[in-house]
Amino acid sequence: MFYITEVEDYIRVEPKLLGLPTKEAVENQLKETYANYYDKEMGKAIAVIEVLKIGEGVIIPGDGAVYYNSNFKLLAWKPELQELVFGSIPEIATFGAFIDMGVMRGMIHVSQTMDDYVSFSKANSLVGKASKRSLKQGDLCLARIVALSHKGDVVKIGLTMRQPGLGRLDWIKEDKIKKERSAKKAATETEAKTDKKKKETKKK
């Protein structure tokens, strides 16, 4: 889930940026500092939206940088259990598939790719035995987060596509069409049975 959060932090502005106006130097340093930042509580930093306040600079003897106590707004994405995510498949492995969600990557274990017995094919794809459906590099998918594991500043995201309405986008479309056809067929059969009963009643 995406969040806009307000952060207060002492920012160490490196000497290479000190020739710039203070606000510009702090903004550039924030962008660099938070470029690949992840925190369990806050999530993955995406962008520094706005610098709200910059305090007086502090110089520490022996350090050529200047420290500024700064308040700023940060856009972050924090993965949540049961959250639906959209992404593409950048890599297939024998044990499953990775999904690129734009902000971060997650992993779908082979047993969670589809509701079928799945095997790894020579064509570098995962194939369902009964359905003959295949998952390959570049496929666009909809998945659900079912596991989060934190080790320090690294998070592992476990996903599933076995639930209804999930999977490769064209699978979802196919399933929707099948469901609509089945519902239409059932409605037609019910209507035919009702008409038959009405006719039988009239004869009596």
- The secondary structure of 125-172 as a DSSP string is -EEETTT--EE-TT-EEEEEEEEEEEETTEEEEEEE--STT-EEHHHH
CA distances from 179 to 19, 21, 164, 187 (A): 64, 62, 11, 12
Beta strands in 14-128 (DSSP E): 38-39, 43-59, 66-77, 84-93, 96-100, 105-109, 118-120, 126-128
**Sheet of 126-128, strand order:** 118-120, 126-128, 134-135
Residue-range definition of the domain harbouring residue 68:
2-77
- What token pair was written down for 141? 């998918």
Q: Is residue 187 part of a domain?
A: no
The number of distinct structural domains making up the chain is: 2
Q: Is residue 155 part of a domain?
A: yes
Last residue of a domain, one of 13, 42, 77: 77
Place of tokens 């700064």: 70
Q: Is residue 45 part of a domain?
A: yes
List the chain pLDDT tens, one digit each, 204 residues.
999 999 999 999 999 999 999 999 999 999 999 988 998 888 999 999 999 999 999 998 889 899 999 999 999 999 999 999 999 999 999 999 999 999 999 999 999 999 999 999 988 999 999 999 999 999 999 999 999 998 877 889 999 999 989 999 999 999 889 888 888 888 887 877 777 777 766 665
Q: Which residue do the tokens 């024998």 mark?
A: 94
| CATH number reported for the structural domain that contains residue 69 in this entry | 3.30.1490.120
* Claim to verify: residue 91 and residue 120 sit in the same structural domain: yes
With contact defined as beta carbons under 8 Å apart, do 71 and 48 qualify? no
> Which domain-ending residue is among 43, 77, 111?
77
